[in-house]
Structure 1
């Protein structure tokens, strides 16, 4: 099911990034939605800026996990891989993976909710 692949991709991104996919505490709106931020880093071929990467092998494994996760969270479900394809990509070589199309149209809106003024409709 494509919904399971999507959830898997988001979970792996959270694990690799060490943070939730939405972080309202960051200073720049481009950093709020982690998949957007990490995709941009891959696009610019910048370092991933993730803590705990000890050597080149760790960084390559992490990069592979991120690319596969970005495939899993494609906006169009027909562009998402099956779980079998996910396994094949993860056991394959990093060089054989293509960066997927940008999987999201925009970052989630950044509008904090003030609990004292929130209105609930029944």
Structure 2
């Protein structure tokens, strides 16, 4: 059973899998997704929280935990990660946001999760 180490992440989250990057709005959705997804290629997978913080998922231990250094991922980088993944999978749709200066990270993450649900 999947669990968090130390604390719960801020939602929504993006999680990397062997098939690509996907989004989850809450713990239930995330854990159900982890249960169904494939995690065979790496020892750890990137998770980005609604606060823009880098976390990791360790499939060998079935644990989601914060990155040991409190690393913040920029809004531009988060969008780049998602768009690069979509292109790698041959999905032509790309997330395009207007000005990011006035958008909070959580808002961008909510938009990305909704976008991924429509296009993945």
Answer yes or no: same fold by TM over 0.5: no
- The structure with more helix, counted as a fraction of residues: 1
- The structure with more strand, counted as a fraction of residues: 2
